Structure 1
Amino acid sequence: MSARQRRESRRLPVPPDPARAVPLWARAVELRTEWLNHALCCAPADRDTAENAITALYALLDRPRPRFVWVPSPAAAVRLVPPTPPARVTDELWRVEKQLATLVSRLRDRLDHAIHDHWYRYAAHFPPPPDPVLALRSGADLRSVVTRGVHDVLRAVVRESVAGLVRAAIPEERLGLWWGGQHDVDWVAHYDVHRRVLDARFDAADAEQWQLWAALVRSCGWWWPRGDVCVVVERPLAIRTEPVAGSAYGEVRLHNPTGPAVVFPDGWSVHAWHGTRVPAWVVESPTVELIAAERNVEVRRCAIERVGWAAFIDQAGLTLVGRADDPGNPGCELRLYDLPYARWGAPTRLLLAVNGSVERDGTRRRYGLLVPPWFDDPVDAAGWSYGLTGVQYAQLRRRT
């Protein structure tokens, strides 16, 4: 072991024994819930707190307090905010946002060093254990479980699901460089849990700057700094979610079976069906005609699920051509239907199958595939969808 490695090993805190790790994990779960509640908060923004925190961040860049413009939704914000220009442009209008990006990047590098992120980052590449308590009692490292069970879960739930679906509803070129406010919760909570549960010690100035970002998570929605003007978004009026069945980490996803899943004060909204962003008609007024015209397979699947497969088959006037056990998915059935060409365009058939992979909620979704009209055997049609013959497909042990 080199001298540097010996110094690093002395600096690393001793992992707690399993008996102590379980109650520490319980405390981490409490903090994760606390921060998730901030991320999903629909109360009016605390404008004073948000403006003071952003002003303090500007001060760290030796810049005066900006003029604040509050808007009711991200869609309203991008109509006001110029998108970020190419990197070679150094106009004063975009200098603040680049300086802020550097500021927070360096802060996180220093905080990572303080919590010895390099020590367990490798473990974070693996999925979290299905039962964290059992894993800890079996001797799993507490810090890696906390990282995967707090940071990674909040990132998946908030940044990738909630914020990701909202972001996907806005043209990417209009977004520019922005910060998430309440949706920056994953990394803010990550350091908070290490500080309050795992006894991490941060430099006083770094802790003070972290508090500014934490204040923004607690107080407002997305925000765009542009020179001496900062555009800040109000929090949503409503966020509708459902628990992910079978999750040991309290995961939720956007879902509302009767209306929009996210609604902002100006009425701008995002619809979601079990975590998938969909057009409003999928939830509010699905019809066979709209489903037939939809080119996106995932959107079409969600719309059919909204109607119900039995009702859809009846309403669409589908004729059963054949059915067979699915050799690549034991215990499930393949069904082949003839489509009414007047509604669905070119001659084609629909193969109804069950997904070979288990969803995050523990279920297996049914899905439909359009296949050429010359297939009469569902097994041949299933093989075609994999680039195989029916005989080859029948030899599969398990498809995914």
Structure 2
Amino acid sequence: MKSPAAALLQVPNFPLRLRFEPLEAWPVAARLASAASDLRTRLDARLGHPRERPPWRSAWRDSPLSDVIEDVVHRPLRATALDGLCNTLGFALKPLARHANDLAWHGQHDAYWVAYYDAWQRLSSVRYAPNLRERLDLWITLAGSASWWWPREGVCVLSERPVEVRVEPAQQGRRLHGGDGPAIRFADGWSAYAWHGTRVPAWVATAPTVARINAEPNIEVRRCAIERIGWDAYLDEAGLDLLGTCPDPGNPGAELRLYDLPGFTRVLLAVNGSLERDGRRRRYGLMVPPDVDDPLSAAGWTYGLTGDQYSQLSRRT
């Protein structure tokens, strides 16, 4: 199928009553989940469980290979493939799910764990038992050739990989950012949208308006839509009530402005303390609670400080 959405509509339903059934009587999707869990457990036992450590340790000279594989392969891929792409697609597919037991596999978005185990056998002296290697190779093939897929008795519904994925650098890996269009697009046109890593409905990217923003109940979606059209443009058109202004003690020469927003919240308009790449200082808005009455207290609240404490800052970034 051309997209996960098209594939999901073709997935047959099945009763999911597994509690008292032997494994061989489970539906194929559940048996596959058990097999995958067993594979990962056996591979982990072969590798051992690396202890938690700060990511920067992998940059040290003579760092253990376990640090390098975890911090260069597993963590960035998990942040990008699972936390970013996979979760965004799952959110977009939610309205199409006709039943709660649509057990799906994620194809290329399983790369974060598939690549982790593959890196060990490629880069180290670790050798898996032949049966484990054969089972892992099957998952490697799936990750390289398909998007989401649904196994059922006698049939397997697969979707093609997307034709376009738009991302930007993030602290770990990359995050979805579509700008003025889809962040993920499939061949049949079905798409998912994201703004700097936050899942958003299509209108945020394609047709943001003040009326839509003010009617949006989700604060994060509203924030993304305002950023999409620009805080200055939004404030000019929305005609918000200005509650107060004051000089920003943490950013000399800049001003803090507190506005009342529809929907029981307020926004503090501030100026970035650091220069952008083009040499300008970006204006941005920060959502603050509705009981914050002055801009200094609002600025302090964003740092977990009181207004008096914030006023003592010498410089913020």
**Residue matched to 1:218:** 144
Aligned to 1:378: 295
* TM-score of the superposed pair, with normalisation by structure 2: 0.81
1:240 alignment counterpart: 166
The counterpart of 2:42, out of the listed 73, 96, 110, is 110
CA radius of gyration, larger in: 1
Following superposition, the deviation at residue 337 of structure 1 comes to 2.5
Q: In the alignment, is the contact (CA less than 8 A) between 1:150 and 1:190 conserved in 2?
A: yes
Aligned residues: CA RMSD: 3.5
Answer with 89-98 or 183-192: which moved more.
Answer: 89-98
CA contact (8 A) 2:79 2:174 kept: no
Report the residue type matching 1:223 in the other structure.
Answer: W
Q: Is residue 144 from structure 1 mapped to residue 67 from structure 2 by the alignment?
A: yes
* Identical-residue share of aligned pairs (%): 49
Return the match for 2:78 from 155, 175, 182.
Answer: 155
Match of 2:155 among 218, 222, 229: 229
Q: Which has the higher contact order (CA 8 A, sep 6+)?
A: 1
Report 1:78-97 matches (<5 A).
78-81=8-11, 82=13, 85-88=16-19, 90=21, 95-97=27-29
Deviations 1:337-389 (A, max 9, x none): 256xxxx477x753335799xxxxxx9993332654893x3124456789986
Change in CA separation of 1:106 and 1:305 when aligned onto 2, cut-off 3 Å: same
Alignment gaps of 5+ in structure 1: 1-70, 357-362
What residue in structure 2 maps to residue 270 of structure 1? 192
CA separation of 1:240 and 1:350: change in aligned 2, threshold 3 A: closer
Structure 1 residue corresponding to 2:134, chosen from 194, 199, 208: 208
Q: CA deviation at 1:203?
A: 0.6
Q: Does 1:351 align with 2:277?
A: no
Match of 2:103? 177
Corresponding residue SS for 1:80: coil
Pick from 32, 55, 59: which aligns with 1:128? 55
Unaligned regions of 5+ residues in structure 2, if any? 274-280
The 3 A distance-change label for structure 1 pair 106 and 350 is closer
Cross-structure match for 2:278: none
Rounded to whole Å, the distance in 1 between the matches of 2:242 and 2:38 is: 62
- Partners in 2 of 1:206 and 1:280 — Cα distance? 43
One-letter code aligned to 2:233: A
Q: Tell which deviates more after alignment, 84-93 or 266-275.
A: 84-93
Q: 1:47 maps to what in 2?
A: none
TM normalised by structure 1 equals 0.65
Q: Specify the alignment match of 1:310 in structure 2.
A: 232
Q: 1:275 to 1:364 in 2, by over 3 A?
A: farther
| Conserved 8 A contact 2:182-2:194 | yes
Name the count of aligned residue pairs: 304
Which residue does 1:335 correspond to in 2? 257
